[in-house]
């Protein structure tokens, strides 16, 4: 890429930064952003215990298997005759009542793997459990779309596999100002200013310069676009709250990013589960409440789909340390303003039909959720991105 | 030998070469140089951390453990073991920077990414690491047979659970798919039959191998067209008889040591040589003495792995890390943490090291560790972390790098070359035209600044 092309692209990418916010918000100036939908993926890292999140409070087996850690009926917000929310999810109940929440139960995949790393890779790459893909499904989505790195943003300082494509990757931007500053260090900037496409025939060197150019323009685009919009809402003061706040600012400032990925940690509750998980669920729900309100305020909620998942659920039977060990199938939350199926999408977990480890058996393959999102929401060829065909669901 | 070629040899067979050493070697012939490179690695020095606090545990007889330790104590030992694995990581990184037996160390790195393994049991993983090191330049067949018997490998690929009554195919599958033949060169039936041959292969806590006779399937197996009462070693022998095995290994070696883009004439040449006796030493010697190895199109075309990048900087300017934990931070931010491979396929390498974020970090690395930089980026949390640990809530921001830089020693050696010579020495890739103009226009105040500038170029990312 020669300098002229680079400058041109750089300017185009950040043209919206020079537009007054009110003009953008009014929709007078169409950037082709309208109607283009986006997804926010939230991974509850560590393996969130689904059974203590969406509690089968009428099921005797639940309490029988969890004498010390079963959530008491008085600590549950009853939703249906069979299932209730852990009371720390109270803010989610409001979303539920507004029809903004769909809970898909028993999501997993065949031959489940109970290692954090392996199962996270499986969820992030959409591979079968006996295959190893070296690219993530969002990375492949970005590639399929022919997008720039900022098409997919991870709210962290480094990229997870989910955002890595074969030759194109998303970009990690936890703090756009920091990212921008790091891309403006003297040698980085100067080297790019002087760079000339001289076709040395050194493939890898050309590749490095290409990535540098993209990194610099991505960092600039993200920073200059998002700095104009500052959220006015009161997010909980914790790292997850900050991740959501930054995401809201990205979305509401008009960034053309299609997918955001956030990883919230702490869910590996092998010991003392109840206290620890209750707190985490409260942090999650509290931040989500503000996030949704923020998007609604800026009229971006209807075009945003939020998917919350975990790399696995946990064992039905509690362990000796008032916690649970790694399990399998789990629930997935879909949050959005345009859901076709609201509330509980499918049947509750079947505690009578467990696998030989005493773990839940999935009835929905998580890739069905992905293929639905890719095809119906992001309007992309799901078969290419997922490298396979999966039955779609009807929640959007 | 030409200085350009000396640098190329040492960057690929090692992690680079100092200016003084290179000047001294310039008068030697290629054969003399390669000979000395190999003789320096003829010895084997194990990599070890102090494990004395685990002696009782590892030497306990089966069944004794329950009476010796309660549950809480066992959890403590496991935690300590994980800390020791980190210590082994630091020891390994430091050893690379020390520059002894470089060829052996480079080969060990290569094999660690082929016979991928991960284990939190420090005694076993240390033993595994040294098995890689001791066989790194040895006989490939003996090497594979040793790896297959290692406790860490047995656990990692579930061969521990592979018993006569219910064979577990994982190890047999990865052995053929990832370690020796590559996908498509064996059948599912081959996997089933060979899994039977590896049944009952077990290990004691102290790391030694033994066969659980009752769990071993002594029956007749048919594998790759041959029939017999094969055991694991026999299976490996049959695999070695397939030329594809030699080809598979030589292709991997070519990509790592010569060029990420294959030249099939060369890989076939290597495969034919390797197939004769599977002698790794002979193979590597052949590569480093081949004319084509020094071909211009192979020089400066490989993207350094994070570990190669970090070690290369340290070989030029001595840097010691006061807080060893920061070595871990650097590896994590760049995407390669030794002893923590992402999965059994290992690190893909080359372009895969690079994304917008890792590239910016890598370009910043020299100023970070040589200029007492501070950094406001955090490495990712671990899945088993608490919320606080995951987000490093209790860490001071930004992180200040605590390094001691041996500038005096550096200046003594590097005062001699001119700026142009220094540039040629550090950056083996042909500079981009514009970058060259940029460098020539720079007013460098002193050599320290200049070296950081050179190492901050994209061209320095290649070797």
How large is the ipTM? 0.93
Torsional sign, CA B53, B54, B55, B56: positive
CA separation for the pair A128, A112 (Å, rounded): 9
Q: Which residues pair with A171 in a beta bridge?
A: A153
pLDDT for position A11:
40
Residues 6+ apart with CB under 8 A from A40: A247, A259, A260, A261, A262, A304, A305, A306, A307
Closest to A268 (Cβ–Cβ): which among B297, B355, B383? Answer: B383
Task: Determine the distance from the C-alpha atom of residue B463 to the mean position of all C-alpha atoms in its chain, rounded to a whole number.
Answer: 16
Structure tokens at B279: 């002698």
Give the phi and the psi of residue B196 in degrees, each rounded to 5. Answer: -60, -35
| C-alpha to C-alpha distance for B172 and A215, rounded to whole angstroms | 42
Residues (pLDDT < 70) of chain A are 1-35, 199-200
- Give per-residue pLDDT as tens, B112-122: 999 999 999 99
pLDDT of residue A34: 52
A196–B345: do the CB atoms touch at under 8 Å? no
pLDDT in tens, B124-172: 999 999 999 999 999 999 999 999 999 999 999 988 888 888 888 999 9
Q: Give ∠ CA B185-B190-B194 in degrees, rounded to 5.
A: 120
Say whether residue B459 is in contact with chain A using an 8 A CB cutoff: yes
Of A134, A157, A263, the CB nearest to B357: A157
- Of residues B301, B345, B384, nearest to A46 (C-beta): B384
Q: Measured between beta carbons, which residues in chain B are less than 8 angstroms from residue A326?
A: none
Tokens of B379: 């490495």
pLDDT-based confidence at residue B110 (cuts at 50, 70, 90):
very high
Q: Is B437 on the interface with A (CB under 8 A)?
A: yes
Q: Coil, strand, or helix at residue B462? A: strand
Structure tokens belonging to residue B326: 């920061």
Chain B residues 359-398 within an 8 A CB cutoff of chain A: 359-361, 363-364, 367, 376-391, 393
Contacts of A156 in chain B (CB under 8 A): 380
B72 at the A interface (CB within 8 A)?
Answer: no
The reported pLDDT for the residue numbered A20 is 45
What pLDDT is recorded for position A366? 98
pLDDT value at residue A35: 62
Q: Which of A350, A351, A376 is nearest to A363 (CA)?
A: A350
| DSSP tag of B458 | G
The set of residues, in sequence order, having a beta carbon less than 8 Å from that of A219 and lying 6+ positions away, is A171, A173, A176, A179, A180, A182, A183, B356
Q: Which of A47-61, A287-301, B334-348, B363-377 has the lowest mean pLDDT?
A: B363-377
From chain B residues 187-226, the ones with a CB under 8 A of any chain A CB are none
Number of Cβ atoms within 10 Å of the Cβ of A96: 21
Listed residue (B332, B396, B455) closest to B16, CA to CA:
B455
* CA A124 – CA A135 distance, rounded (Å): 8
User: What does the alpha-carbon distance between residue B199 and residue B301 come to, in Å, rounded to a whole number?
Assistant: 44
For tokens 């030409």, the residue is: B2
User: Exposure of A352 by Cβ count < 10 A (0-12 exposed, 13-18 middle, 19+ buried)?
Assistant: exposed
First-last CA distance in chain A: 40
CA triple B209-B343-B325, angle to 5 deg: 90
Residue B434 with chain A: CB contacts under 8 Å: 194-196, 198
Is B342 within 8 Å of A214 when comparing Cβ atoms? no
In the prediction, which pLDDT does B161 show? 84
List of chain B residues whose C-beta atoms are within 8 Å of the C-beta of residue A201: 297
Chain B residues whose beta carbon lies within 8 Å of the beta carbon of residue A276: 386
- Closest CA–CA distance from residue B356 to any residue of chain A (Å): 5
DSSP H helical ranges for B243-355: 243-257, 264-277, 280-289, 306-316, 325-334
Tell me, what's the pLDDT at B307? 98
The dihedrals phi and psi of B347, each to the nearest 5 degrees, come to -85, 130
Phi, psi values for residue A134, rounded to 5°: -100, 15
Sign of the alpha-carbon torsion through B415, B420, B423, B428: negative
Tokens 């047999």 identify what position? B172
Instruction: Collect all residues of chain A within an 8 Å Cβ-Cβ radius of residue B376.
Output: 175, 178
Among A182, A191, A211, select the one facing B438 at the smallest CB separation. A191
Best to test chain A binding among B79, B360, B399 (most A CBs inside 10 Å): B360
pLDDT tens digits, residue range A164-213? Answer: 999 899 999 999 999 999 898 877 887 888 888 776 678 999 999 999 99
- The model carries a pTM of 0.92
- Is the minimum CB–CB distance between B74 and chain A shorter than 8 Å? no
Nearest CA in chain B to A280: B387
Token representation of residue B84? 């020791």
CA distance A292 to A289: 5
Write out B112-160 in H/E/C secondary structure: HCCCCCCCCCHHHHHHHHHHHHHHCCCEHHHHHHHHHHCHHHHHHCCHH
The predicted structure's pLDDT at residue A190: 79
pLDDT band at B296 (very low <50, low <70, confident <90, very high): very high
* Cβ within 8 Å, pair A171-B356: yes
End-to-end CA distance of chain B: 18
For residue B259, what is the nearest residue in chain A, using CA coordinates?
A: A204
Report yes or no: B333 at the A interface, CB cutoff 8 Å.
yes
Cα A313 from Cα A330, distance rounded (Å):
5
Chain B closest-CA separation from residue A2 CA (Å)? 11
Among B360, B244, B383, B156, residue whose Cα is nearest residue A119: B383
Q: Which pLDDT band holds residue B430 (cuts at 50, 70, 90)?
A: confident
Query: B305, B354 in Cβ contact below 8 A?
Result: no
Q: How confident is the model at residue B285 (pLDDT cuts 50, 70, 90)?
A: very high
Which tokens in the block code for residue B314? Answer: 């340290």
Question: What CA–CA distance (Å, rounded) separates B203 from B193?
Answer: 22
Per DSSP, the residues of A336-394 read ESS-SS-EE-SPPP-TTS--TTS----SEEHHHHHHHIIIIIS-S-HHHHHTS-----S
Which residue, chain included where needed, has tokens 């043209």? A15
Average pLDDT over residues B210-238: 96
Q: Among B343, B359, B363, whose Cβ lies nearest the Cβ of A121?
A: B343
Distance from C-alpha of B203 to C-alpha of B215, rounded to nearest angstrom: 13
Strand partners, A103: A333, A344
Q: Is residue B241 predicted with pLDDT exceeding 60? A: yes
In the predicted model, is pLDDT for residue B194 greater than 80?
yes
Q: Of A175-184, B222-231, B423-432, where does the model show the most confidence?
A: B222-231
H helices of A136-175, in order, are: 137-144
Q: Find the CB nearest B387 among A182, A204, A266.
A: A266
DSSP code per residue over A94-132: HHHHTT-EEEEEEEE-SS----HHHHHHHHHHT--TT--
- Closest by CA position to B224, among listed B211, B208, B212, B242: B242
Q: Using the beta-carbon criterion (under 8 Å), do B300 and A202 form an inter-chain contact?
A: yes
pLDDT at A8: 40
């Amino acid at each position: 890429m020669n300098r002229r092309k680079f400058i041109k692209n750089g300017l185009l990418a950040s043209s919206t930064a020079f537009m007054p916010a009110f003009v953008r918000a009014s929709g007078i100036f169409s950037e082709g952003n309208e109607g283009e939908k986006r997804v926010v993926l939230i991974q509850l890292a560590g393996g969130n215990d689904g059974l203590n999140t969406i509690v089968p409070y009428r099921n005797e087996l639940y309490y029988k298997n969890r004498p010390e850690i079963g959530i008491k009926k008085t600590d549950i917000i009853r939703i249906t005759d069979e299932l209730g929310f852990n009371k720390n999810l109270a803010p989610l109940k409001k979303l539920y009542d507004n029809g903004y929440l769909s809970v898909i139960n028993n999501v997993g995949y065949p031959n489940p793997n109970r290692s954090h790393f392996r199962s996270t890779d499986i969820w992030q790459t959409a591979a079968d459990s006996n295959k190893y893909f070296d690219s993530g499904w969002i990375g492949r989505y970005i590639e399929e779309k022919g997008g720039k790195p900022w098409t997919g943003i991870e709210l962290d300082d480094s990229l997870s596999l989910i955002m890595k494509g074969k030759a194109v990757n998303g970009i990690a931007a936890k703090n756009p100002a920091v990212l921008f500053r790091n891309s403006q260090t003297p040698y980085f900037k100067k080297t790019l200013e002087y760079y000339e496409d001289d076709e040395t025939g050194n493939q890898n060197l050309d590749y490095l310069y290409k990535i540098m150019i993209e990194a610099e323009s991505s960092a600039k685009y993200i920073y200059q676009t998002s700095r104009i919009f500052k959220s006015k809402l009161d997010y909980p003061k914790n790292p997850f709250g900050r991740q959501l706040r930054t995401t809201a600012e990205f979305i509401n400032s008009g960034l053309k990013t299609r997918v955001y990925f956030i990883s919230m940690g702490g869910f590996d509750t092998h010991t003392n589960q109840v206290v620890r998980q209750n707190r985490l669920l409260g942090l999650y729900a509290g931040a989500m409440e503000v996030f949704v309100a923020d998007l609604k305020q800026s009229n971006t909620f209807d075009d945003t789909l939020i998917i919350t998942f975990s790399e696995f659920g946990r064992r039905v039977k509690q362990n000796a340390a008032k916690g649970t060990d790694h399990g399998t199938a789990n629930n997935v939350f879909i949050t959005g303003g345009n859901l076709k199926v609201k509330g509980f999408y499918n049947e509750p977990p079947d505690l009578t039909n467990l696998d030989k480890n005493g773990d839940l058996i999935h009835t929905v393959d998580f890739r069905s959720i992905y293929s639905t999102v890719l095809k119906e929401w992001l309007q992309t060829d799901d078969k290419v991105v997922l490298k396979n065909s999966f039955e779609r669901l009807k929640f959007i | 030998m030409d200085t350009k070629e000396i640098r190329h040899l040492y960057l690929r067979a090692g992690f680079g070469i100092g200016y003084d050493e290179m000047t001294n070697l310039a008068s030697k012939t290629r054969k003399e140089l390669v000979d000395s490179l190999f003789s320096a690695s003829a010895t084997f020095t194990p990599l070890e951390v102090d494990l004395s606090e685990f002696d009782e545990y590892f030497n306990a007889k089966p069944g004794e453990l329950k009476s010796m330790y309660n549950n809480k104590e066992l959890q403590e030992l496991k935690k300590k073991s994980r800390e020791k694995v980190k210590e082994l990581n630091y020891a390994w990184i430091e050893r690379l920077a020390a520059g002894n037996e470089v060829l052996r160390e480079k080969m060990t790195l290569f094999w660690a990414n082929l016979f991928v393994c991960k284990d939190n049991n420090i005694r076993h993983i240390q033993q595994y690491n040294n098995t890689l090191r001791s066989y790194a330049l040895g006989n490939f067949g003996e090497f594979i047979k040793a790896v297959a018997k290692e406790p860490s490998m047995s656990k990692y690929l579930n061969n521990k659970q592979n018993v006569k009554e219910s064979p577990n195919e994982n190890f047999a599958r990865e052995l053929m798919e990832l370690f020796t033949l590559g996908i498509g060169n064996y059948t599912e039936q081959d996997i089933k039959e060979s899994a039977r041959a590896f049944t009952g292969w077990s290990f004691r806590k102290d790391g030694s191998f033994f066969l659980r006779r009752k769990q071993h399937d002594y029956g007749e197996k048919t594998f790759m067209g041959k029939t017999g009462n094969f055991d694991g070693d026999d299976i490996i022998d049959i695999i070695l008889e397939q030329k594809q095995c030699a080809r598979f290994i030589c292709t991997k070696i070519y990509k790592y040591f010569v060029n990420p883009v294959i030249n099939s004439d060369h890989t076939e040449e290597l495969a034919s040589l390797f197939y004769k006796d599977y002698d790794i030493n002979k193979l590597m010697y052949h590569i480093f003495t081949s004319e084509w190895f020094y071909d211009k199109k192979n020089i400066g075309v490989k993207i350094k792995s994070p570990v190669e990048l970090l070690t290369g900087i340290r070989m030029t300017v001595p840097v010691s890390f006061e807080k060893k934990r920061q070595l871990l931070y650097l590896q994590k931010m760049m995407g390669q943490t030794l002893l923590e491979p992402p999965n059994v396929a290992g690190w893909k390498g080359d372009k895969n090291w690079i994304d917008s974020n890792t590239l910016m970090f890598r370009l910043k690395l020299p100023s970070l560790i040589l200029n007492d930089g501070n950094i406001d980026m955090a490495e990712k949390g671990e899945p088993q972390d608490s919320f606080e640990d995951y987000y490093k809530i209790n860490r001071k921001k930004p992180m200040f790098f605590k390094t001691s830089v041996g500038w005096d020693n550096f200046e003594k050696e590097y005062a001699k070359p001119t700026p142009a010579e220094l540039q040629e020495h550090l950056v083996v890739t042909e500079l981009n035209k514009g970058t060259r103009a940029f460098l020539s226009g720079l007013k460098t105040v002193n050599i320290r600044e200049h070296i950081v500038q050179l190492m901050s170029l994209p061209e320095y990312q290649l070797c």
